[in-house]
Amino acid sequence: MKLIRFGNKGNEKPAIQLQNGKRIDVSSFITDYDENFFGTGGIQRLQAWLENNQSKCPEINEDIRLGAPVVRPSKIVCVGLNYAKHAEESGMEPPKEPVLFFKATSAIVGPHDDIVIPKGSVKTDWEVELAIVIGAKASYVSEKEALNHVAGYVLHNDVSEREFQIERSGQWVKGKSCDTFAPLGPFIATPDEVGNPNNLRLWLKLNGQTMQDSNTSDFIFNVQEVISHISQFMTLLPGDIISTGTPFGVGLGLNPPKYLIPGDEVELGIEGLGISKQKVVAYSAKV
Ligand code: ZN
């Protein structure tokens, strides 16, 4: 199943994208895709309900705005340097255990919303990533049990400001959390649709030119290892997002480095998880 949310910012409604690409509104049955939905078997309940009610669900207009396919969760936990070649381009050693950092959940936007270059930024960069959506509370889970805690997977652009991240003192969170720095979607695909999450092609284009093109089979720490590892340090709640790191090909790694400027267009995709597209705009106090 593919879960989407549609409508104006802050007033999104839950919907489903069918195999034939049509999108149907399921808000008559589901309040929203939030912690309660994922934590109470919402996906199974929705699936069962659809068997008898699908034909009654209103179809959604194709050009309507898509929101992030999950309601703002308790946390976004990100894994840094999880592809060997990207660690190298960042000038860092491949880590011995997963590098973790947080991204503010207020950074979440829809898959095709604009990326706003933050006030004073000159080093805003792109990062295509496979993100995991947690489906059941996870605390001290083993690698073997880890996938039982997954609701689905979603495409994420872990937009990053390199000066804020690396040159200003302290933790990476400063360069990861600006408004609009977490375009999520177009949809959450349930695990049965995705197959092996540790073997998915992922790519990103800037103004039509391929910048990143890799496969999650190059993970240093795979999906099971990452979930198990994080759950040793914090409880993952239903709806929480884990972003698994980006492969080689970010702007920081180019010689000379290249960063986003207003007017740029970023397009990214992951096998089975669709495509998202963001236009880059300058910060304005009115946004
Ligand atoms: Zn990242």
The pLDDT assigned to 198 comes to: 98
Alpha-carbon distance of 154 to 114, in angstroms, equals 18
The pLDDT assigned to 286 comes to: 67
Centroid of ligand 1 to alpha carbon of 136 (angstroms): 23
Centroid of ligand 1 to alpha carbon of 54 (angstroms): 37
Centroid of ligand 1 to alpha carbon of 46 (angstroms): 32
The pLDDT assigned to 85 comes to: 85
Centroid of ligand 1 to alpha carbon of 78 (angstroms): 6
Centroid of ligand 1 to alpha carbon of 9 (angstroms): 24
The per-residue pLDDT for range 220-253, each reduced to its tens digit, is: 999 999 999 999 999 999 999 999 999 999 999 9
Q: What's the burial of 143, exposed, middle or buried (CB within 10 Å: 0-12/13-18/19+)? A: middle
User: According to CATH, what is the number of the domain 70-282?
Assistant: 3.90.850.10
* CA distance readout (Å), 81 to 28, 49, 147, 277: 42, 41, 22, 24
Centroid of ligand 1 to alpha carbon of 249 (angstroms): 12
Centroid of ligand 1 to alpha carbon of 173 (angstroms): 11
**Other CB atoms within 10 Å distance of the CB of residue 251:** 19
Q: Are the C-beta atoms of residues 79 and 226 closer than 8 Å to each other?
A: yes
What is the CA angle 106-191-203, rounded to 5?
A: 65
Centroid of ligand 1 to alpha carbon of 250 (angstroms): 10
Q: Are the C-beta atoms of residues 105 and 73 closer than 8 Å to each other?
A: yes
The pLDDT assigned to 133 comes to: 98
Centroid of ligand 1 to alpha carbon of 56 (angstroms): 40
The pLDDT assigned to 88 comes to: 83
The number of angstroms, rounded, from the C-alpha of 34 to the middle of its chain's C-alpha atoms is: 15
Centroid of ligand 1 to alpha carbon of 131 (angstroms): 10
* Ranges in the chain, pLDDT < 70: 286-287
Centroid of ligand 1 to alpha carbon of 261 (angstroms): 19
Centroid of ligand 1 to alpha carbon of 243 (angstroms): 7
The per-residue pLDDT for range 6-55, each reduced to its tens digit, is: 999 999 999 999 999 999 999 999 999 999 999 999 999 999 999 999 99
The pLDDT assigned to 89 comes to: 82
**Other CB atoms within 10 Å distance of the CB of residue 235:** 14
For residue 257, give every residue at least 6 positions away whose Cβ sits within 8 Å of its Cβ, in sequence order, or none: 123, 162, 251
Centroid of ligand 1 to alpha carbon of 73 (angstroms): 18
Centroid of ligand 1 to alpha carbon of 51 (angstroms): 38
Q: What is the location of CATH 3.90.850.10 in the chain? A: 70-282
Q: Structure tokens of 132? A: 């995991």
Q: Structure tokens of 110? A: 């829809």
Q: Are the C-beta atoms of residues 238 and 134 closer than 8 Å to each other?
A: yes
Q: Are the C-beta atoms of residues 236 and 117 closer than 8 Å to each other?
A: no
Centroid of ligand 1 to alpha carbon of 97 (angstroms): 16
